Structures are given as C-alpha cells and as structure tokens.
Amino acid sequence: MRTYHPIPQDAPISHREEGALSTRSWLTPRQRMQIIFALMVVVSMVLALQLMRHQLFGRPPLITASALPEKLRLRGAIVDADGHPLAIQTFRYVVVASPKVMNQRDMPAIAEKIASYLPDRSAEALLQIFLENRNSVYIELASDVPPEIGEAIMADSDLVGIGVDIYPTRFHPEKSLAAHLLGFVDVDNKGHYGVEEYFNNFLLAPTDEIEPGPDPQLDARLGAPSANAVLPQSHFIPSPARRDLILTIRRSLQFVAETRLKEAVETYEAESGVVIIMAPQTSAILAMAGYPTYNPDEYPQFPLERFVNPAISEIYEPGSVFKLITFAAALHKNAITPETQFKDTDKFIYGEQIIQNWDRKGRGNVTAQQALAQSLNVTTAKIATRAIGATDFYNTVARFGFGQNTGVELAFEAPGLVNGPNTPRWALGNLATNAFGQGISVTPLQMANAIAAIAAGGVVHRPHVVKMSINEDVVRVKKPEGASIAISPQAARTLTQMMVAAANHTKQATIPGYAIAGKTGTAEIPTLGGYKEDRTITTFVGFFPADAPQYLILVKLERPKTSAWASETAAPTFRVIAQDIITIDNLPPDAIRLQTAP
C-alpha cells in the first residue's frame, strides 16, 4: 500500500532553478554515483534483513519471504551516452503498524517510542490510532520517511508490531530532462511511455533466470561490466539490478534542445514544439525534446496528454520541407539536374487540385535549384507529376520510411499517413499536393530521419536511442542498421549542394563560417473547411557541416502567433541550437577544419 506526496505546484522544477547541470559540489560526479549505487546495494539487502530480523527477535513478520512481486524488484539505471544518470532507483520507506499483535498495555510505550522517530506524529495521536484499530493488521503511519529513520526503526527490537515496508521508486537527478524520451515509472514499478515502457521487462531485475533483452539487433559482447570497460573515462557504475541502458542521448545537447525549444515557444507564442538532434551517419538520437514537458518524479500532477512524446506520436503535414523528398526522387531517377529549366506559372491545375505558390505569383523560367531555394509549389508539383510520376514518387516516399514506424526503441510510435495510388482515399491531384508536403502526414522523427538519409549518402538507418545495454555479464553494443537505400549517393550529394543554396536563401538559419544544408517548411493546418493561412506549423531541418555531416537538427513549432513563417520562427531556433552545439563540441569553421584535415 502506498501514498504519493506531490511536490507543490509552485516548487521550482526548471533546470536552471534547480541547477541540474551545476558542477559546484565538493563531490565529483563519480563519487556521487558511487555513493548512490552503494546506497542502492545496501538498501536492496534490507528486505532480506528485515525478514531475518523479524525471525531472530520473534516479532510477527509484516513481509513474507516469497518471490518478489514486480513492484519490489530492482530496476536498472538509465544513463546518457557519457554515463550521467537520467533515471535511477532509490527506495521509499513506509512505517506501518499491526495493532492486533500488540499487547494493549504495551501500546502507550510503543506509541511514545515510535513518536520519537516521527516528528509529525504525537504519542497521544499514535496511541489513539492503535486503540481505535486494535484489530487491524496493517496501518500506514508514515508514507515516506528518511532512510536513516526507517533503518533505525527496523533496528529497534522494542517496537513490537511496528515495521517498515521498503518500496523501490524511480528518481530523476535531472528532473524533467528528457522526460518524453524516458517516460515514467508508476508506484507499482511499471514503466509507462518512452524507454521505460519499451524496455520495462528488460530493466526489471529477474527473480530467477535471466530474460533476453528486447532488441535482438544488439551485438552481444561478453565481459563483466565495469565503469572502465563499458564507458571509459565516464561516471558510470553498473546498478545493483545489472540491467542498465546506456542511451545515445547526450545530456549537454538534451539540455540545449529543451532550453532553446522552451525559449522559442515562448518567444514566438507557439502552442508547442519539438526539437530533434541526430548523428545523421548512424541515426543515433543525440537529443529529443518536446514542449510543454513534465517531471517524471511528479507525474500524477500532469494531464495524460503531457506524457505523449510529440516527436514520435504526433503526426502533422510537414509542408515545404517535404519538397526535399520530391527533389530526391527526381534526382535519383535522373529526371532533373539542378539546372533543369521549368516554367513557374501563377497556377497549375492537376486532377482536382489547383496549385499556387505562397504569394499566388509565378516566377517564370526557373531552374530546379531556384525552385527549391525559393520553395515554389508550382514547379515542385510539375516535377512530381511530369518528371517523376506517381509510382516512382510513392516508392521513394516509402524507401525514406514514411507511412511506417521507424523502429525507434520508444513506446507508442505512430506510422504517419501516406495515401498512395493503391489506397481508396487517393486521387490524381494528391500527387501534386503531396509533392510539397500537403495531404501527407509524418512524425517529426520520420522527417528528421529521412533528411538524415540524404546526409548519409542515401542510406536510411534505423533511428535509435540505445547505445549499449547491460544484462548481467553481457554488454551489448548497438551498431548502425542500414534499413534501406533511399536514393543513390550521387543524388544525395547533389541534393545536399542544393540544400546548402536553399539554406543560404534563409539567412535566419545561416552561421558564418559553416556550410549548412537545410530547408524550411511552413504548413497550413487542415480543418473541416480546408486550410487556414493563419494557423501554421513551421519546420526547419538541416545538417552540418554540409560536406561531412555530424549533426542534424529538426525544429518544429506549432501555431506560432508572432509569425506564421518558418523562416522567422523555426529557422532562427535552428541557428541558436547549432551555435550552441558548435560551442559545446568546439567545432572549427569549415575553412580551418578543411585546412587541418588529414
């Protein structure tokens, strides 16, 4: 039996207020981790010691010696790529009483003694509880006492009929950091959402035999896990459960993503937002942020919808950023080059659809490069309908992973929605509108991973959040998975060059000295009556350095009020995040990097 004590609503929970990343401490991070895990080892033995103590002193046991139920099993730690703890197990001490086994004449002395341990309980009040419940075998006296108090009560042999129940509980040293990605653990030790739910069975220490991990794609490497063997020069120490997950997430980049996203939502008066940072060559997720967010340690205080990870579970029409997929299909088919000429007209009618540019004006003769840089709907639709064709277009869309789960190790991933020629809801005009991201629905992660494939030379990798896992004496290291070839390497190189020119057209996203390959997307939100120009979702996705991509960033903002355009909302947010990454990782400007490259 448990009760939950929520933290007051006005308690500060932001990273800055709590100093989540502060290094001002007389203990080093490694020393703190050693203390935490040493405490976990000691406390995990208390359950057994408590039973033994009851037997030795002849006190009626309040816990029976049987196979541990799920709520009492140890749960493994979740740490970031450098070993910083994100979710660890601590223990909650609950003081309980069994008045039925007490001798009534001893009750005043027991009440007096236990009151000395519980400052919020008077001896008189406790005695009254014992007398009024003299036939009860279980009464909770205090639901969350400090460990030292709980252990002192257990060591006091005079407290007949008093016991301490110990329950595992999850603790997040970084508060709300990576909450959507992690998920939370309830009072029954069960994971919900994110990594906690996806790996729930894996993280729970077994009661007898070892269970296999949930991901058969992890490459098994034998060897007893240790701080040096698993993560050299890190703060990581395997937990007592020996069922740990080491994520690809980097705490520093996750903090940047969450901080900048919150600033963007507030600055541009958006309803919500998403930021994803990936390593495009492997699709390892370095940061994944959604806002508004929540604190997993205080999950009962938040509405259910707050737990949904918008990066993987919410679908939206991506708008012009999807033009990159159309141009990728055309380049892969060798149907166009950057210099291919098109007539950009005021409108283009295809099927039942009337296609126009954002300002209803045609540009006349333009090249494919100019059409992408200026984000022209009319020319993009002409490329899809005349140069590519429905079959090749939707085959390319599928190869990039749209309309299907990416396979990321997170609970509740949505597959998106693609209505192709073989589906009942498809009409001829859909090809023209789908070409510029209208009438097709994706998740932010799908969109980010598709652009990561362009950066990776046309190879679509499975996005992943797990770097390593520890299962007893088995350390499993994640390897990149090439799921499919979306486009040819040459098409990917050409499109990257075109994206650099497109990003240069969006000055709000550029950083002097660094070539960025990117694209904006401003999507009108569909309603029952059609699309509303004043209700938009803005996106910017880009990677850098363009010639040797190390980072991909996707920024998505929902319904910004200060401006409806991605160039004025998502693009500058991308820039500040990229600048933060450059500073954190000390990435030199392209000219210097290329001069010093071997």
Residues 231 and 261 occupy one common structural domain: no
1 occurs within a structural domain: no
Cβ 398 vs Cβ 404: under 8 Å: yes
Residues 181 and 126 occupy one common structural domain: yes
Residues 558 and 581 occupy one common structural domain: yes
Alpha-carbon distance of 565 to 75, in angstroms, equals 45
Residues 542 and 588 occupy one common structural domain: yes
549 occurs within a structural domain: yes
The residue among 55 and 406 whose pLDDT is bigger is 406
pLDDT one-digit tens code per residue, 214-255: 333 333 333 344 545 667 777 778 888 889 999 999 999 999
Q: What is the CATH number of the domain that holds 517?
A: 3.40.710.10
At residue 241, the pLDDT reads 86
The residue among 162 and 237 whose pLDDT is bigger is 162
Alpha-carbon distance of 500 to 494, in angstroms, equals 10
pLDDT one-digit tens code per residue, 15-24: 333 322 222 2
pLDDT one-digit tens code per residue, 439-452: 999 999 999 999 99
At residue 298, the pLDDT reads 94
Binned at pLDDT 50, 70 and 90, residue 68 comes out as low
249 occurs within a structural domain: no
Residues 515 and 567 occupy one common structural domain: yes
Alpha-carbon distance of 503 to 515, in angstroms, equals 9
**b vs e for 533-572, b when ≥16 Cβ sit within 10 Å of the residue's Cβ?**
eeebbbbbbbbbbbeebebbbbbbbbbbeeebbbbbbbbb
Helix-helix angle 107-115:123-132, to 10 degrees: 140
Q: What percent of the chain clears pLDDT 70, i.e. is strictly above it?
A: 83
Residues 513 and 558 occupy one common structural domain: yes
Residues 176 and 325 occupy one common structural domain: no
- Angstrom CA distances, 480 to 38, 283, 336, 464, 488, stand at 34, 8, 31, 9, 19
Residues 536 and 406 occupy one common structural domain: yes
Residues 351 and 445 occupy one common structural domain: yes
Residues 259 and 180 occupy one common structural domain: no
Residues 52 and 131 occupy one common structural domain: yes
Binned at pLDDT 50, 70 and 90, residue 160 comes out as very high
How many domains does the structure of the chain reveal? Answer: 2
| Cβ neighbours of residue 415 closer than 8 Å, sequence gap 6 or more | 403, 404, 405
**Alpha-helical runs (H) found in 184-233:** 194-198, 200-203, 227-230
Q: What is the CATH number of the domain that holds 59?
A: 3.90.1310.10
- Report, as an integer, the average pLDDT of 454-475: 92
Domain that holds residue 24: 15-241
Q: Residue 564 in 3-state DSSP?
A: coil
Give the end of a domain, one of 200, 220, 241: 241
pLDDT one-digit tens code per residue, 267-294: 999 999 999 999 999 999 999 999 999 9
